Amino acid sequence: MSGIRPTGLLHLGNYFGAIRNYVKMQEDFECYFMVADLHSLTTHPDTKELKANVHRVLAENIACGLDPDKAAFYCQSHIHETAELYLYLNMMAYKGELEKTATFKDKVRSHPDNVNAGLLTYPVLQTADIIIHRAKYVPVGKDQEQHLEMARNFANRFNHRYGEVFPEPSAFNYNQDLVKVPSLDGTGKMSKSENQMATLYLADDDELIRKKVMKAKTDSGPGANNSPKPDYIENVFLLMRLVSADDVIRKFEADYDNCSIRYGDLKKQLAEDMIQFIAPIRQKVNAILEDEKYLRQVMEQGAEKANRSAAATMQLVRDAIGLNYY
Ligand code: TRP
């Protein structure tokens, strides 16, 4: 089970980090992937853009290979019983531990005028999302580790108080090291919030991709044969390894090693290979976005699967708590 916030466009880092994991998991497990539309209300109370954002997240993930016939792909707000489980879990979540959460402290700093209770209990709702399917494996990045630890605590607390209902959820990834996609300016990784020109989005058009790649940081070239690569050059090669053919990569590696490399040519090649990779995804996203009927059908089908699983869990939960008087 995993959740995706419907804010902002997906970029190459999301693709190689999260989505590729989902696409693989759907072959190996019974999966629930959720658009976290309710979570977005904690920081984005204005819902004017919500529908468009939800549609985009659905379309982008499907275009990248998430298959709504294999995994349940649904919206958080369509599973009403999550709100019920959230209420029960709130009775077991302590103010002190919620206030200590790193993401809460960040949000208090960035939105001091809107420190609402939903923000404080964000990890409780996330726990409800996960354990309502009694999920064991949660494919998430490093930034979600603390939330996952809290989910384990809340699930265990429930089990101790009312009897074993939930397995322990834990973060899941196929490869030990998540693929980090470096940003084009040589600092850190691609990110929604930082330098937009250093991040490649799945929605970028060909010209913009070219422009961004050509701006990638390079220098005047290595000074001696077989020199180690500076970080920002290694980053360009890393990006190339994600999208370019083996012989192309080998050629530029050899050129680097014998000091004949021309970074202009390298970046031109990388730009074209990026376009070959991103353009078909972008076109698929746009085609899906045009087909509202299909998107509706995906959401209905996902909600139906997710609701079935949620209803079964909630029966166990109410019985365990003792909310069964008749
Ligand atoms: N908090 C997650 C994020 O910021 C989104 C999310 C909501 C989630 N519910 C979840 C992730 C359940 C995993 C499981 O990206």
Q: Is the pLDDT reported for residue 96 higher than 90?
A: yes
Tell me, yes or no, whether 184 lies in a domain.
no
82 and 96 share a domain?
A: yes
Do 305 and 83 meet the contact criterion of CB atoms below 8 Å apart? no
Q: How far apart are CA 240 and CA 251, in angstroms?
A: 12
> Which positions are annotated as active-site residues?
107, 189, 192
165 and 233 share a domain?
A: no
Residue 35 pLDDT: 98
Among protein residues, the one with the nearest Cα to ligand 1's atom 6 is 3
234 and 175 share a domain?
A: no
Residue 139 CA: which ligand 1 atom is closest?
Answer: 13
Write out the two tokens for 151. 């989910």
Average pLDDT over residues 164-190: 87
276 and 309 share a domain?
A: no
9 and 108 share a domain?
A: yes
C-alpha distances out from residue 230 to 83, 164, 222, 239, 256, Å: 50, 53, 9, 15, 12
3-state SS, 83-122, equals: HHHHHHHHCCCCHHHHHHCHHHHHHHHHCCCCCCHHHHCH
Q: What confidence category does residue 30 fall into, taking pLDDT thresholds of 50, 70 and 90?
A: very high
48 and 153 share a domain?
A: yes
Tell me, yes or no, whether 212 lies in a domain.
yes
Average pLDDT over residues 81-103: 98
Domain of 257 in residue numbering reads as: 204-285
Among protein residues, the one with the nearest Cα to ligand 1's atom 7 is 3
Q: What is the CATH classification number for the domain harbouring 135?
A: 3.40.50.620
295 and 151 share a domain?
A: yes
125 and 264 share a domain?
A: no
Regarding the beta carbon of 39 and ligand 1, being less than 6 Å apart is answered yes
Do 306 and 32 meet the contact criterion of CB atoms below 8 Å apart? yes
**Which element (helix H / strand E) includes 227?**
none
Residue 188 pLDDT: 87
Do 215 and 200 meet the contact criterion of CB atoms below 8 Å apart? no
> 3 CA distance to ligand 1 centroid (A)?
4
Regarding the beta carbon of 121 and ligand 1, being less than 6 Å apart is answered no
39 and 150 share a domain?
A: yes
> 126 CA distance to ligand 1 centroid (A)?
6
Do 216 and 236 meet the contact criterion of CB atoms below 8 Å apart? yes
Q: Is the pLDDT reported for residue 190 higher than 70?
A: yes
Residues 125-149: tens digit of each pLDDT = 999 999 999 999 999 988 899 999 9
Residue 180 pLDDT: 82
134 and 113 share a domain?
A: yes
Residues 261-314: tens digit of each pLDDT = 999 999 999 999 999 999 999 999 999 999 999 999 999 999 999 999 999 999
128 and 267 share a domain?
A: no
Among protein residues, the one with the nearest Cα to ligand 1's atom 8 is 3
Tell me, yes or no, whether 326 lies in a domain.
no
Residue 179 pLDDT: 75
27 and 148 share a domain?
A: yes
Average pLDDT over residues 30-56: 96
Q: What is the CATH classification number for the domain harbouring 215?
A: 1.10.240.10
Q: What confidence category does residue 178 fall into, taking pLDDT thresholds of 50, 70 and 90?
A: low
Q: What confidence category does residue 177 fall into, taking pLDDT thresholds of 50, 70 and 90?
A: low
Lowest pLDDT segment from 135-149, 186-200, 210-224, 294-308: 186-200
Q: Domain count of the chain?
A: 2
Average pLDDT over residues 157-174: 96
